[in-house]
Amino acid sequence: MKKLNLRTLRNLTLISLVLSAAPVYAQMQCRTTLGSHLSPIMGTDHLMAFEATMAPGIITDYRIQGGMYLVAFDFSLWKQSNLYFEGGYKNWSKVELDDDGANDINLPELDSRHIGVRQFFYSFELPKTDVKLGLHETKLGNYLLVDERILGASIDRNFGAVDINFRAGTVLQNFARMGQFCANRHLYNLTQDNFTENIGEKPGETNLVGAVINWNPHYQAPVESSSDDEFSEFDDFGDFDEFSDDSGMEDSTPLVNNIGLIVYQEMGSIIDDPKQYVGSLIDLNLPGEISLRTGAVYQSLEDNNALVFIMQSRKAFMWNSGMNTDVIVSYIGQSDVDDSAIFQPLFSNLFIGEVMRMDATSFPLWTAEVKHRFGGKLRYKTALKAVGQVEGDKTQEIDLENSIHLLKHVQATLLLSHVESDAFAVDFPDGVNMARMEVRVAF
């Protein structure tokens, strides 16, 4: 059987590094460029965008292929309100490398073609308040509890030094982030994990509700001016970076940057024991312009009480040439109150690692990454990431990701991964290697 060996992986790595030239604005965890290509429809205030993705690759003994076609419409309504729709079609295949006659054969137990809706929501803005109602992607503050596609409400409200985030909704298998309309999980799936097996099929079966309060102890009210400009704390299409760059930091920068509190619950008709979570998070500014995030979340669940804590540090380097480098290391630990407790929020969706997509049930975990963004029109970005599982299957993964804009509307991303784990050590004693190229065309 042919395999993607380490020599091939090294050669592909060298090829990817030769493609150098500047930064992609989308986060590497979400490589779609759809939002940045929303353009007016025939001179109106309404917007639309289209994106097509082709993603061939190899993972050990298999040839993989993923494709997705997405369309988005953003209809501007009255008084700062919008109606947003995003959906499309996806297909995929995974066949053995030595099976020349299996080009059109997909894994029999999974549907390889699917039409779906990713988001369909109504949003409106009031002074210092943002609201989304409907099917939409959302997070709950900066905690590791919610990163999901929900049918419900997201409300963000600012009170000067205090921000309040509220989330409530239901999640179904069909539209969950790792549900049927997902392009990647079917392609890798080394351990036959089903990320949606505990999520409901009907509204009301698996629900969430929660709130986060963030307090900036050094907040200073803006000075009154004659300008009509308003500062919006919440950007509908932007990604909130918990370690936003503060290149202007001075020695007088306060130690405590933010203090957050969270209350969160998961419940539903198929959740026998509702899960409650309470926690706190503190962002610190350390000497040397190092950001440090510390926090803890307690899970209250019958025979599964546990405390999860996180420490994450980041150092940003800004270069005179316009390039910048981020170095991030983190550790997510778990302390069991009950023997063999499992931290199991349904909608945390950390999905750490390109191939293994490790989540809360994989704690404790360590991660490290170096991201470098070049200057120039090509917006080239490269990142080297690593994640390791301290207990359990002792899974270790290394990922190299290189992304470049070849043309205004074309983005290419090369992904290289090497994974070792006790979960498949017998079948793959030398580990698993993956190489994949994603090409996106968006208008």
Lowest mean pLDDT among 166-175, 239-248, 357-366, 407-416: 239-248
Rounded to whole angstroms, the Cα distance separating 290 from 302 reads: 39
Average pLDDT over residues 278-298: 94
Query: Where in 171-323 does DSSP place strands (E)?
Result: 207-215, 256-267, 275-286, 290-300, 306-318
Residue (of 174, 178, 170, 260) closest to 211 by Cα position = 260
pLDDT tops 50 at residue 9: no
Options 3.40.50.300, 2.40.160.100, 3.30.565.10, 3.50.50.60; which CATH number does 6-219+251-442 get? 2.40.160.100
Q: How far is Cα 257 from Cα 300, in angstroms, rounded to an integer?
A: 28
CB within 8 A of 2, min separation 6: which ones? 61, 97, 98
Distance of alpha carbon 372 from alpha carbon 316, whole angstroms: 10
Domain residue spans of the chain:
6-219+251-442
Identify residue 115 by its one-letter amino acid code: I
pLDDT score, position 340: 85
Q: Are 266 and 207 a contacting pair, CB within 8 Å?
A: yes
Averaged pLDDT for residues 78-106: 78
pLDDT bucket at 102, cuts 50 / 70 / 90:
low
Give residue 221's pLDDT. Answer: 83
What tokens were used for 199?
């999520």
Half-sphere exposure of 141 toward its Cβ, with a 13 Å CA cutoff? 29
The confidence score (pLDDT) of residue 101 equals: 54
pTM of the model: 0.82
pLDDT band of 310, cuts 50, 70, 90: very high
What per-residue confidence (pLDDT) applies to 184? 67
The residues, ordered by sequence, that sit 6+ positions from 111 with a Cβ below 8 Å of its Cβ are 180
Q: Residues 98-110: what's their mean pLDDT?
A: 51
- Asked if residues 355 and 397 have their Cβ atoms less than 8 Å apart, the reply is yes
> Does 112 have pLDDT greater than 90?
no
Task: Note the pLDDT of residue 419.
Answer: 95
Q: Say if residue 28's pLDDT is above 70.
A: no
When pLDDT is cut at 50, 70 and 90, the band that residue 114 belongs to is confident
**Residue 231, pLDDT above cutoff 50:** no
* Antiparallel, parallel or unpaired: β 62-76 and 432-442: unpaired
